[in-house]
Structure 1
Amino acid sequence: MGARIASGLVLASAGATAAWFGGPWLAAACGAAVVAMSYEWARMSEPHALMPAFVFSLAGSLGAVLFASWQHLHYAAVWLLVCSLASGLRRRSITHFVETVGGAIYIGFPCAIFLWLRDRGPEGLETILALFAIIWATDIFAYFGGKLIGGPKIATGLSPNKTWSGIVAGVLAGAAAGLGCSFLFQAESNLRLAWLGIGAVIGFTGLMGDLFESFLKRRFGVKDASRLIPGHGGVLDRIDSLMAASLLVGAALAFGPRTTALLFGSGL
C-alpha cells in the first residue's frame, strides 16, 4: 500500500505539472506514456514477436502524439491507422489481426485525444484538470469503497476483486468531484446539476475502462501489463480509466465543440 500511494502521488504530480504547462511538456509526458504502453501491449499480445509489435505500435502512437500536439487530430488518426494496419498484416489469423490493429489504436488514440483536449481552446487546461479530478476521485473511492464495503463481485472471471460497492462509491465520488469542479471553475449556478451528471458519467466510463483493461489482461493471461510502477503494475494499469474518459470527452466535444465554453465560467 505504501508503494502504491507513493508512486500514485509522484505520477499525479508529474501529470498535473505537465498538463499545467502544456505544449512540449505535455507532449513529452504523453510520448513517454506511449513508449511504455507500446512495450506493455507488445509484451502481452505478442511475447514471441515483441520487437516488431513494439516498433509498429510505437511508431504509430508517437506519430499520433506528435500530430495531436500540433492540433492535427485527423492526421494523427490516419497515421495511427496506417501503422496499425501495417503491423496487423504480420499476423496470420483474423483474431490476431484485430488484436494487433486494435491494440495499437487503443494505445495511441486516447493519448492523442488527451493532447488535443488540452490545446483545443481557451478551456483546455480546465478540461484536463476536471478530468484529472473526476478520474482520481473515482479511482480512489472505488478502490477503498470496494475494500471496506465489499459485497457482490462484478465479474470474477475478469477481475476477482472488483465489487458493485466499489463501482457505486466510485461513481458517487466522480459526481461529487464534478460538482466540486463547478464551484472551482465558477460555473453558472444553473449548471451545477449538469456538472454532477457529467462527473458521474465520466467516473463510470473510467471504471468501465479499468474493467476493459482487466478483460484484456485475462485474454492474454497476465496479471499486470508490466511492473514499471511499484504498487500499480504498468502504465496501462494506471491510466486505463483516464484513457477511456478522454475518448468519451473527446467524442462529446467533437459533436458539441462549444460545450466547454458553457460549462466553465471565468476559470482559473
Structure 2
Amino acid sequence: MKTFFTRTASALVFVAIMLTGILYSPFTFFLLFFLVNFFALQEYFKLIRNIDPDYGNTSGWHKTGVLVASCALILSFTGDHFAGGNLSLGFLGWWIAIIFLMVLPVGEILLSNEFSLKNIGYSAMGLLYITISFGLLIHLCLNYNTIHFTAGPAGIGTGPGWLIPLLLIIFIWINDTMAYIVGSLIGRTPFFPSISPKKTIEGTVGGMILAIAAAGIYGYYWGSQWLSLQHWMVLAGLAAVVGTAGDLMESKLKRMAGVKDSGNIMPGHGGFMDRFDSLILAAPFAWIYIHFFAMS
C-alpha cells in the first residue's frame, strides 16, 4: 500500500511539472526538456559504464566536454526564438557545440591515458540518441506557431507550439496504458521475451490500434483546424510503433547493464530514460513526418 501511494504521489508531481513546463510558455518548454536531456544523458552514460567498464576510464575533460556539447546542441535548436539584441541562445549554442565537438577528440587524445575511439563512439551515440531527439522536439514546439500545415477542409492552420509534442506524449501514454490493459486481459503470445518478458503481441497490437483510434477521434472532432485527420492518425501510429521500439531499446540497454531502472529520480518509476524512452525515439520520426509530409 505504501508503495502504491508513493508511486501515485510521484506520478502526480511528475504530471504537474510536465504540464506546467509544456503549457506555460515556449521558454519553460525549452527549459523542461533542456533539463530532461541533461539528466537522461547522464543516465545513458551510467548504463554504458555498466555495460563496458572501459568507458569509466574516460578523462574528466571527456565527461565534461560531452555534457557541455550536449547542452550547446540543445541551445542551437532554439534558433532565434530567445534573443537579446543581436545575440540569441541558438547562435550561442551553435558555436559552442561546434567548438566542443571539434576540440573534444583532440582533448581526448592529449588528456586520456588510453585513447579509445570506442569511447568517443559511445559518447557520440548518446548525443545522437538523446540530445538530438530532445532538440528536435524543442524545435518542433518553437517552430509550430510559424509553420503552416495542411488542414483538410479547414484549409491551412497553425497552432500553439506545444500542441504536437503534447499530443505525441499523450498518444504514447495511451499506447502504453492500453497495451498493458489489453495484454493483461487477453495477452498470450510473448512479443520480445528476451528483452521484455511481460510484453505480448496482443497487448502491443491492441495498444497501437487504440492509440490510433484515439487520434482519429481527436482529429475528427477537434484537431482538424490544425492538421487533417490522417496526419493525427499517422502521428499516433508513429508514437505507438516507434515508441514501442524505443521502450524495447532502453530495456535492452538496462538488461545489458544489469540494472532494473536507469535512475531513481522518481520513486517507484525509475529515472529520466525510463520515463522518456518512447519519446526519445518517437520525437525524431514525428519531426521528420511533420516537416516533410504535413507541411503545406
Quote the Cα distance in structure 2 between the aligned partners of 1:105 and 1:19. Answer: 23
Distance 2:258 2:238 in 1: 30
Q: What is the root-mean-square deviation of aligned Cα atoms in Å?
A: 3.2
> 1:148 and 1:231, CA in 2 relative to 1: closer, same or farther beyond 3 A?
farther
Q: Is the 8 A contact 1:217 1:223 kept in 2?
A: yes
2:223–2:229 Cα contact (<8 Å) kept: no
Q: 1:75 to 1:195 in 2, by over 3 A?
A: same
Alignment match of 2:289 (pick from 240, 252, 257): 252
- Which stretch shifts more, 130-139 or 80-89? 80-89
Q: Which aligned pairs between 1:113-124 and structure 2 lie closer than 5 A?
A: 113-122=136-145, 123=159, 124=161
**Aligned residues of 1:130 and 1:181 also touching (Cα < 8 A):** no
Name the structure 2 match of 1:213: 250
| 2:17 matched residue in structure 1 | 14
- The alpha-carbon distance between structure 1 residues 142 and 39, as it changes in their structure 2 partners (threshold 3 A), is same
Structure 2: which 5+ runs fail to align? 51-55, 81-89, 146-158
> Which one is further off, 2-11 or 213-222?
2-11
- Report if aligned partners of 1:60, 1:84 keep a CA contact under 8 Å in 2: no
Matched residue, 2:278: 241
Q: 1:152 to 1:46 in 2, by over 3 A?
A: same
Q: 1:155 to 1:66 in 2, by over 3 A?
A: same
Tell me how far 1:51 sits from its aligned partner.
7.8
Deviates more, 1:191-200 or 1:171-180: 191-200
Q: Which residue of 2 aligns with 1:27?
A: 30
Shift of 1:108: 0.8
Write out aligned runs for 1:1-268 (5 A).
1-46=4-49, 48-49=56-57, 52=60, 54-70=63-79, 72=90, 75=94, 79=98, 82=101, 86=105, 95-122=118-145, 123=159, 124-183=161-220, 185-187=222-224, 191-256=228-293, 258=295
Q: Distance in 1 between matches of 2:168 and 2:216?
A: 12
The percentage of aligned residue pairs carrying the same residue is 24
Q: Map Cα deviations across residues 175-227 of structure 1 (whole Å, 9 max, x no partner).
A: 02311331453416x94345334322321111111111112222323221111
Q: CA offset at residue 234 of structure 1?
A: 0.9
| Aligned partner letter, 2:142 | D
* Structure 1 residues 81 and 192, CA gap change in structure 2 (3 angstroms): farther
CA 1:75 to 1:218, structure 2 compared with 1: closer, same or farther past 3 Å? same
Q: Based on CA coordinates, which of the two structures has the bigger radius of gyration?
A: 2
TM-score (norm: length of structure 2): 0.74
Distance between the aligned counterparts of 1:14 and 1:214, measured in 2? 25
User: Closer, same or farther in 2 for the Cα pair 1:83/1:152, shift >3 Å?
Assistant: farther
Contact preservation (8 Å) 1:23, 1:69 = no
Gap runs ≥5 in structure 1: 260-268
